[in-house]
Structure 1
């Protein structure tokens, strides 16, 4: 008896992710989910240096600023509710100190540029096609920072605008790393604050925009970009509320683990899977809470773990437990 429809996935034939790879992840919270998995398994990666970026224009702005070497100044930040904010960044970067915020912004835009230079793979997750334009500056923001909505104009990016934004983003990336694989995906997280119909319309624009871009001449010439169906896996293979968190909007840990396993089957090399298993044994071992920490058996257990960790670190110096 077949109880689930399966999305056909094919293993990438080349440029697979392994422990020599260096991954840059940008975009909606699903990039954070995948980024956390890569971090847990000790891959080299950098995720969302400007925090979660929900729409393609915000990602384009970050890449443009990184490539052009932007220096953030006091003109780029503002104070609201006793915090200093930047419209280009998520509120998790906001700070009570203007100087501290500017320091983090400039450090992170440099980190983005550095990661672009050494990236072996770039994962871009789009969350929504709805954007907010700050009326005073006529600028599309990455985050509204809870400023009253009357100060913004809400807009739905057209498919053409999304294709244009993706084209500019990839062109900027290619100016730094001409052949780096770029993996596009659409976040399964539903933005229901926009409305049920509006969320569906938004996701449709994103999916259509990505696929139109992938069929464009730039894709045919470079042949380095692809699409991973995380949204489709959630909507089709996991079409049950038991795979959602308590808010009924975000995928729960079971769904995240499931989609991560699917991602592995497509993008992670067999040699890396073997190392991942070794990393997980050590990670779980260090997280284990012993009944008697001073017992001889536990001391031997800890020593064995440390020996395994040392052996793994001798192979991959970047791995730190």
Structure 2
């Protein structure tokens, strides 16, 4: 008896390698996937603006990254004793205006430097509902809990999203014709919008992505993270306590399907070796100062050296520093 509906993954998805350069932007699902890719030593720039939910704000961010924009004090506002950017997540907010600008512009410089080298751009759309500032007329990425009266709330249309991204991708691909773009729609349900409004929003995003795939058949791809949770797992035991976010088990499942669909066989072997190093470092010795444990740490360093000898672009700086500190202890 078959008690689930398997989701068939699209044929012809690309296979990423550790030598590739990646950038991820979008909802907290993009942040989760990006963190996991970093942990397995992929070269990623993840959410340089923090979490962004709507497609228009993601496209603005990409244009600013490509242009090498630098933010100034006039683009921040003070609310509840904190300085905020309407384009950035609250993780950038602070009571220190200069600190906000430093953090924003540092991340922007890093993203701009990486942008021209990108092999893959992974974009996760969270919602088609947007908030427009009545003062500026612009869609904001984050309201920062300001009064709703300051904004006009509306749902983007399919045509509006497609028009914006057709122009954006045409421009980006002209400068970087090798770039592949992987779209996903976040499986996180925006319950605050109401379930019907959430479903309309997700449908809008899915239809827009489908049209973009038709317009850019060699460059635009779709990974069905949304369908894997909603159709294949399809049970509240795969949701967190808020009944909106996927549980860890669900994210693990989607991640597993993503890895085996989009990552090359050689990269899978590197992942396994990197995971072995991580597990060795997580080992808690009974006697940290013993010669036996120092020999064990030496074996870890040797494994890192061997892996870096074959793949010099892998970043094991953090692991090397941990070994150095423990060896000196």
Separation (CA, whole Å) in 1 of partners of 2:242 and 2:94: 28
User: Is 1:228 matched up with 2:223?
Assistant: yes
Q: Displacement of 1:296 after TM fit?
A: 5.4
User: Is 1:248 matched up with 2:226?
Assistant: no
Change (3 A) 1:300 1:98: same
Separation (CA, whole Å) in 1 of partners of 2:168 and 2:175: 11
Separation (CA, whole Å) in 1 of partners of 2:56 and 2:140: 8
Q: Which moved more, 1:98-107 or 1:157-166?
A: 98-107
Taking the TM superposition and a 5 Å limit, the aligned residue runs for 1:1-321 are: 1-10=1-10, 12=12, 15-216=14-215, 219-220=216-217, 223-295=218-290, 297-317=292-312, 318-320=314-316, 321=319
Query: How far does the alpha carbon of each residue in 1:130-172 deviate from its partner, in whole angstroms, 9 at most, with x for none?
Result: 0001111111100001111111111100111111222233234
Separation (CA, whole Å) in 2 of partners of 1:22 and 1:136: 38
Separation (CA, whole Å) in 2 of partners of 1:239 and 1:298: 46
Q: Displacement of 1:249 after TM fit?
A: 1.2
Separation (CA, whole Å) in 2 of partners of 1:255 and 1:66: 32
Separation (CA, whole Å) in 2 of partners of 1:298 and 1:5: 49
Change (3 A) 1:111 1:269: same
Separation (CA, whole Å) in 2 of partners of 1:278 and 1:92: 33
Q: Displacement of 1:87 after TM fit?
A: 0.7
Question: Number of paired residues?
Answer: 316
The TM-score, its normalising length taken from structure 2, stands at 0.91
Q: Displacement of 1:269 after TM fit?
A: 0.3
Q: Displacement of 1:95 after TM fit?
A: 2.0
SS in 1 for 2:177: coil
The TM-score, its normalising length taken from structure 1, stands at 0.93
**Alpha carbon RMSD of aligned pairs, Å?**
1.7
Checking the alignment, whether the CA contact within 8 Å between 1:62 and 1:109 is kept in structure 2 is no
Separation (CA, whole Å) in 1 of partners of 2:190 and 2:94: 26
Change (3 A) 1:159 1:11: closer
Checking the alignment, whether the CA contact within 8 Å between 2:76 and 2:86 is kept in structure 1 is yes
Query: How far does the alpha carbon of each residue in 1:189-246 deviate from its partner, in whole angstroms, 9 at most, with x for none?
Result: 1111111111111101100111022123xx14xx111111000001111111221122
Checking the alignment, whether the CA contact within 8 Å between 2:86 and 2:142 is kept in structure 1 is yes
Q: Displacement of 1:10 after TM fit?
A: 4.9
Change (3 A) 1:295 1:240: farther
SS in 2 for 1:118: coil
Checking the alignment, whether the CA contact within 8 Å between 1:67 and 1:113 is kept in structure 2 is yes
Name stretches of at least 5 consecutive residues in structure 1 with no aligned partner: none
Separation (CA, whole Å) in 2 of partners of 1:114 and 1:125: 22
Q: Displacement of 1:294 after TM fit?
A: 4.1
Query: How far does the alpha carbon of each residue in 1:28-76 deviate from its partner, in whole angstroms, 9 at most, with x for none?
Result: 1111111011111011111000101101111111111122332322221
Change (3 A) 1:38 1:11: farther
Q: Displacement of 1:304 after TM fit?
A: 2.2
Q: Displacement of 1:174 after TM fit?
A: 1.7
Separation (CA, whole Å) in 2 of partners of 1:10 and 1:170: 21
